[in-house]
Amino acid sequence: MKFRILILSILLAIFAVLGVFYFWTEPVANYPSKGTDIVAFGDSLVEGVGAADGNDFVSLLSQKIGQPIVNLGRAGDTTADGVARIGQLDAYTPKVVLLLLGGNDYLRRISISDTRKNLEILIQNIQARGAVVLLLGVRGGILNDRFAAEFKNLRDTYHTAFVSDVLDGLLGNGQYMADATHPNAVGYRIIAERIYPILREVIK
């Protein structure tokens, strides 16, 4: 088990280095942002379902960067639900918005085209506010990830900061998951470590 954890830690470090390299070799829209608030917007993964209070990845990231992060996660949300409530950002002056939606679209068999369209609306809305979008990818399938190319295309089209499939290597592993779709405290800590190097750069 210790060997598996060591290997996973090494892989996470490699992914982090690659992520930061991408950030500095491709322009990120609205960077540096003049906003003041860091916001996480999404579904149950953002809300932190599966872990006790303070052990969700948003809280862990807030601790690591030493700044508050507004948590606008709501369990069960699809990308369409996100579009319907994106006005919640009106209460803030967002600097960076971590955007994580799409998993419930897959579970409810919503078409990929509709999922992409809604994510485009969300990204455009957030960027129109002058904020950096930190797009967080999720997997669209167990054996065949139908979302991978879509998220990368969104990154390239809208010049977002980006972390690919945040649940990579966690799904199906009881060591990291509280249930079939939600991480436990250990899993959320891994997600936070994946996101942190990119978030650290875009809040500078």
Contact predicate 135/160, CB 8 Å: yes
CA 110, CA 114: separation in Å to the nearest integer?
A: 7
- Residue 94's domain is classified under what CATH number? 3.40.50.1110
**Position 144 confidence tier, pLDDT thresholds 50, 70, 90:** confident
Answer with the residue of higher pLDDT: 146 or 162: 162
- φ/ψ region of 76 (left if φ > 0, alpha if ψ in -120 to 50, else beta) reads left
Q: How many domains does the chain have?
A: 1
Contact predicate 165/190, CB 8 Å: no
pLDDT of residue 8: 52
Quote the domain boundaries for residue 112.
2-202
pLDDT tens for 93-132 read 999 999 999 999 999 999 999 999 999 999 999 999 999 9
Average pLDDT of the residues of the chain? 91
Asked if pLDDT for residue 10 goes beyond 60, the answer is no
Asked if pLDDT for residue 39 goes beyond 70, the answer is yes
Answer with the residue of higher pLDDT: 145 or 91: 91
pLDDT of residue 26: 74
Give the dihedral sign, CA 44/46/47/51: positive
Asked if pLDDT for residue 150 goes beyond 50, the answer is yes
Beta strands in 12-54 (DSSP E): 37-42
User: Which among 122, 49, 113, 44 is positioned nearest to 89, based on CA atoms?
Assistant: 122
**Position 137 confidence tier, pLDDT thresholds 50, 70, 90:** very high
Asked if pLDDT for residue 2 goes beyond 90, the answer is no
Q: State percent of the chain over pLDDT 70.
A: 87
pLDDT of residue 17: 45
Question: What average pLDDT does the segment 185-203 reach?
Answer: 98
Contact predicate 50/15, CB 8 Å: no
